């Protein structure tokens, strides 16, 4: 198959996403959850902490009508109101029905493919084409993929999520030192930014072809499997052997093996405050909480976030 380039994705993709998001929000086809934001610096790493109490009330997916019925799959036949555009021959772009970041959209496979399987060359190519469409418009995208039971994945149908970086910054202009935040995956080569869990990274080059980008992803995956299971060779297709998060920008790829989806916050008296779960946005340097106690505790003692980060992956 010919390499997928930015010409396959509409060049006005940022505008298409904005129009679709605004229309769906006005018509009630999606819900946007506004957030409060603070900047924490555990281990000198600028980390966004966002708080959205309304998100705790997010509707649950409908249950199957029959006892052994198939679970509801929102990506199997997405409604026209949620569709941004088709990406022939194998993908679609849809809106996130429950958005915390404005203009959050999702790359899905047309055919049902498992989220727990390794990404294929066309998945990486389609994702990069979206990133390039934004870059051509003077913007940046953060793409991430959650795979496995400890990754924060919520849907079994294969999908990668895409966030406009400028919209990820909403609200930071009113926060002390908010301008210091940048996508973490692109700062991991800075020696002073030491994460408490293992992340494997590689640089992206604009002249890489689809095959090279896919090989770069598979190399990160192999390195992660070796870290989790020393001496075991990793296969390069089918079911993944580990839970992991993967992130891609125009300049970098990052992959972190996951040991847990989150961790329980405890106060200074050792009492449970709440469970903080993290998905692939951890590689952007963001975390989300849904209750006041968690929000207050983390702002009062940012090192509590460091404890959560220590527990979710392989110790670095």
Write out the DSSP string of 214-238.
HHHHHHHHHHHHHHHSTTPPPPSSS
pLDDT value of residue 59: 77
pLDDT tens for the chain, residues 1 to 316: 334 443 489 989 999 999 999 999 999 999 999 999 999 998 888 999 999 999 888 777 666 666 767 788 889 999 999 999 999 999 999 999 999 999 999 999 999 999 999 999 999 999 999 999 999 999 999 999 999 999 999 899 999 999 999 999 999 999 999 999 999 999 886 644 578 999 999 999 889 999 999 999 999 999 999 999 999 889 999 999 999 999 999 999 999 999 999 999 988 888 899 999 999 999 999 999 999 999 999 999 999 999 999 999 999 8
Strands 252-257 and 105-109: unpaired
At 306 the three-state DSSP class reads: helix
* Rounded alpha-carbon distances, angstroms, from residue 161 to 48, 130, 144, 247, 279: 18, 11, 5, 9, 11
pLDDT value of residue 72: 84
Residues of 228-263 as b/e, b for ≥16 C-beta within 10 angstroms?
beeeeebeeeeebbbbbbbbbbbebbbbbbbeebbb
pLDDT value of residue 270: 84
pLDDT value of residue 37: 98
pLDDT value of residue 269: 82
Distance from C-alpha of 245 to C-alpha of 189, rounded to nearest angstrom: 18
Quick one: tokens of 265? 């916050």
* pTM: predicted TM-score of the whole model, two decimal places: 0.94
Q: 159 near 111, Cβ under 8 Å?
A: no
pLDDT value of residue 192: 42
Reported residue count of the chain is 316
């Amino acid at each position: 198959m010919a390499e997928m380039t930015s010409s396959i994705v509409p060049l006005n993709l940022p505008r298409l996403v904005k129009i679709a998001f605004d229309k769906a929000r006005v018509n009630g086809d999606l819900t946007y959850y506004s957030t409060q934001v603070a900047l924490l610096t555990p281990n000198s790493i600028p980390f966004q902490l966002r708080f959205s109490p309304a998100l705790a009330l997010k509707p649950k997916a409908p249950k199957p009508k029959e006892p052994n019925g198939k679970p509801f799959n929102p990506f199997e036949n997405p409604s026209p109101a949620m569709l941004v555009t088709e990406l022939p021959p194998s993908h679609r772009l849809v809106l996130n029905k429950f958005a915390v970041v404005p203009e959050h959209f999702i790359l899905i496979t047309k055919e049902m493919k498992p989220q727990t399987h390794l990404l294929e060359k066309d998945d990486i190519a389609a994702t990069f084409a979206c990133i390039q469409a934004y870059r051509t418009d003077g913007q940046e995208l953060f793409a991430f993929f959650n795979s496995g039971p400890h990754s924060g994945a919520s849907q079994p149908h294969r999908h990668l999520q895409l966030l406009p970086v400028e919209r990820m910054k909403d609200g930071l202009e009113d926060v002390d030192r908010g301008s210091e935040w940048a996508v973490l995956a692109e700062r991991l080569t800075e020696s002073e930014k030491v994460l408490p869990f293992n992340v494997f990274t590689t640089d992206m080059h604009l002249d890489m072809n689809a095959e090279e980008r896919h090989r770069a992803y598979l190399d990160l995956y192999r390195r992660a499997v070796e870290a989790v299971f020393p001496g075991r060779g990793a296969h390069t297709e089918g079911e993944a052997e580990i839970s992991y998060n993967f992130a891609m920008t125009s300049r970098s790829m990052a992959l972190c093996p996951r040991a847990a989806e989150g961790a329980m916050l405890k106060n200074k008296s050792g009492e449970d405050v709440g469970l903080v779960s993290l998905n692939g946005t951890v590689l952007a340097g963001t975390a989300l909480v849904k209750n006041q106690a968690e929000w207050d505790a983390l702002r009062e003692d940012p090192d509590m976030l460091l404890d959560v980060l220590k527990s979710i992956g392989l110790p670095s």
